[in-house]
A and B are shown apart, each in its own frame.
Chain A
Amino acid sequence: MRAGPRPTGLRARVAAAFGLGALLVSAVLAGSTFLLARGYLLDQRESAATAAAFVDADFLRSRLATAGTGVDDVLAELSTEGGDVVVRRGDSWYSTSLEVGARDVPAGLRAIVESGSAGRERVDSPAGPRLVVGVPVAGAGLDVYEVAPLGELRSVLTTLSWVLGAAALAASAAGAGVGLWASRRVVQPLDQVAGAATRIAAGELTTRLPATDDPDLVAIVGSFNTMVDALAARIDRDARFVGDVSHELRSPLTSLTTAVEVMGARRGELDDRSRQALTLVEQQLARFRATLDDLLQLARLDNDPGARGDEPVAVGGLVREVLAASGRPAGLLETDPEEDTVVRGDKAWLERAVRNLLDNADRHAGGARAVRVARRGASVVLTVDDAGPGIPPEDRERVFERFARGPRAARGSLPGAGLGLAIVADVAARHGGGAWASASPAGGARLSLSLPAGPA
């Protein structure tokens, strides 16, 4: 029924164990009940048949003692309630019924009775099981056999065995049911732990298991909550570390940038070599600043998982403003009517994502060639096309990872440490959208950002 070698679940195993245990116990009970009942009933039947045989034998003897009385006549007087009677006198056989006769007396029993002892034997006949009790009547030359049918008893026993079997099955089903219920009860705390772990993995670090006074669960709940405390403290420490490091870097970077700006204002007083050196320092400082800026933005995103604004932002207008603010030509943009491109979110983060996409095109492909904002069903899609070397298919997911880099050719020659697209991906994800890379029909790369459209 199950596909593949999936291991049986804990709940199923506990239920099966309960069911099996109940089956075992009820089978033993039913079996012994059946055996006892059968023994008792058979004993009863045998003693009744034996008693009847002696009574009949006695009756026969006393009646036959009267001269002129035939065996047939006496047999006709006998009650055949408990079974038929077969009598051997010499080689002649007499019976109370046509259905039984000498053939129904087993040879072994006959030998015993003829040797002078009473005996009994159970036989199977075409008419059903029977009990034959043989009693020799000493002095009269008679052997009296009581042939008692056991069919009725057999059917009683069959009914009893069915009833007992059904009871055993019902007991094991009830056992399995109890097992299932008990295992649910036992597994319930595990489900709670699993739910809490899922919420924690999703970033809800304040999640804790509710306190319990169940002595069996106190240890688990306690150590789980302790683990989450430690984890949260660790994450907090890591985040603070990034914050501390960036704070430490900001101050020297600020004084450095400011001092270099002071030097830049005196560029004219420098000789050629010093001017070149100053230019190099300025470029590298800009790169340093951009990377630190990206790191700080990512740290802020990490510190604030899931948070996003809820203001309506027209992506078309936003891109136009970013183009204008960065001095890029407004003609790059092709947009659907702005009211169709409204999304809900945080304007500052979305602006950052748009700027990073444009900067990425600058860095790796000599600038964006076309920027489009279009409504596609329930999404607003921004695409930035460039005419650069493109991104090979195997790198198209990797470029959105932190510190992923473009082709080696571009490395080192331009600023940027490869955090820009990671920020784009993070911003897209927290707005419920996505970002991906593909090939531009113009030959270069196409980077796309999709966001769920807000109420226009």
Chain B
Amino acid sequence: MSPRLLLVEDDDPIRTALRWALEDEGYTVDEAVDGDRACALVDRDPPDVMVLDLMLGRTDGYTVVRHVRRAHDLPIIVVSARADTHDIVAALEAGADDYVTKPFAVKEITARLRALRRRAGGTPADAARPREVVLDRHPDEPLVLRPAAGTVSRGERPLPLTVTEFRLLCELASVPGRVLSRAELLERVWQHGFFGDERLVDVHIRRLRTKVELDPGAPRVVVTVRGLGYRLDPR
């Protein structure tokens, strides 16, 4: 079955052309022209992935991202028209997985989508991974990662990680105690080349910490190594 994609874009020509191009790539495309309709569609029947323009009319892209993230972990790519990079960071902090800027080529979006869906669907390597890794042996609330099952829990409570956050945690957990640079994480998680945007890593690490750390202000599981990158310290 072809993956279902929700395309949210208020500019008719872009939406139409992008729909054609994405259908050529094998997606079943649903369209929404504004944020309210997008939220309604996601609530009724969540798609597999979402491509979302940040600059929508009344309900802007950030609001849609936050709304979707309340209940869903589906991959979201945002499209930013502004060179102002604060937009992008704000969208990532709201929970978007990746972004492209206008004007983009369709192959940029499809490459990002492939990387995201690979993450969502898991890779063959995941099967070879241990079923369960304990990341924090806290007496009451141990942090347990189950790569094959695709879940993380803190004590009895399952943590609602997005696919990107889950992938990030898996990559860090695969080399416990070793530093991974931002560039390495970009390559492993987003499949971006050497020149990817390292803010992607920083923002997602921040979001990951708010979910897995007991005190996100003083992280003890996912630690920053100044000037080098990030390291996972099993405790």
Q: Which residues of A contact B (CB under 8 A)?
A: 243, 246-247, 250-259, 261-262, 265, 289, 292, 296, 299-300, 321, 324-325, 347-348, 351
Cβ-defined contact, B18 with A258, below 8 A: yes
Q: Which residues of B contact A (CB under 8 A)?
A: 11, 13-14, 16-18, 20-21, 24, 81-83, 102-107, 193-195
Q: Please give, as numbers and ranges, the residues of chain A lying within 8 Å of B24 by CB-CB distance.
A: 262, 265
Cβ-defined contact, B103 with A257, below 8 A: yes
CB distance from A314 to the nearest CB of B (A): 12
Closest A residue, CB atoms, query B23: A262
Of B11, B13, B83, B193, which contacts A243 at CB under 8 A? Answer: B83
CA gap between A128 and B153 in the complex, in Å: 123
Cβ-defined contact, B195 with A348, below 8 A: yes
Could you tell me the dominant secondary structure of chain A's interface residues?
Answer: helix
Of B20, B102, B194, which contacts A254 at CB under 8 A? Answer: B102
Cβ-defined contact, A262 with B21, below 8 A: yes
Cβ-defined contact, B195 with A252, below 8 A: no
Of B16, B20, B81, B195, which contacts A251 at CB under 8 A? Answer: B81
Cβ-defined contact, B14 with A255, below 8 A: yes
Q: List 16 A-B contacts (CB under 8 A).
A: A253-B102, A253-B103, A254-B102, A255-B11, A256-B17, A257-B103, A257-B104, A258-B17, A258-B18, A258-B106, A259-B13, A259-B17, A261-B21, A262-B21, A299-B83, A348-B195
CA gap between A246 and B104 in the complex, in Å: 14
Q: When A and B form their complex, which 5 residue pairs have the shortest distance between CB atoms, in order from nearest?
A: A255-B13, A258-B17, A250-B102, A259-B17, A321-B194
CA gap between A70 and B18 in the complex, in Å: 148
Q: Please give, as numbers and ranges, the residues of chain A lying within 8 Å of B18 by CB-CB distance.
A: 255, 258
Q: Please give, as numbers and ranges, the residues of chain B lying within 8 Å of A265 by CB-CB distance.
A: 21, 24
Q: Please give, as numbers and ranges, the residues of chain B lying within 8 Å of A261 by CB-CB distance.
A: 21, 105-107
Cβ-defined contact, A255 with B82, below 8 A: no
CA gap between A250 and B13 in the complex, in Å: 12
Cβ-defined contact, B195 with A254, below 8 A: no
Known: A250-B81, A259-B20, A262-B20. A321 touches B195 (CB 8 A): yes
Q: Please give, as numbers and ranges, the residues of chain A lying within 8 Å of B11 by CB-CB distance.
A: 251, 255
Q: Please give, as numbers and ranges, the residues of chain A lying within 8 Å of B14 by CB-CB distance.
A: 251, 254-255, 258
Given contacts A250-B103, A265-B24, A321-B193, 7 further A-B contacts (CB under 8 A): A252-B13, A254-B17, A258-B14, A258-B106, A299-B83, A324-B194, A325-B194
Cβ-defined contact, B195 with A325, below 8 A: yes
Known: A258-B17, A261-B21, A262-B17. A247 touches B103 (CB 8 A): no
CA gap between A288 and B141 in the complex, in Å: 57
Closest B residue, CB atoms, query A286: B105
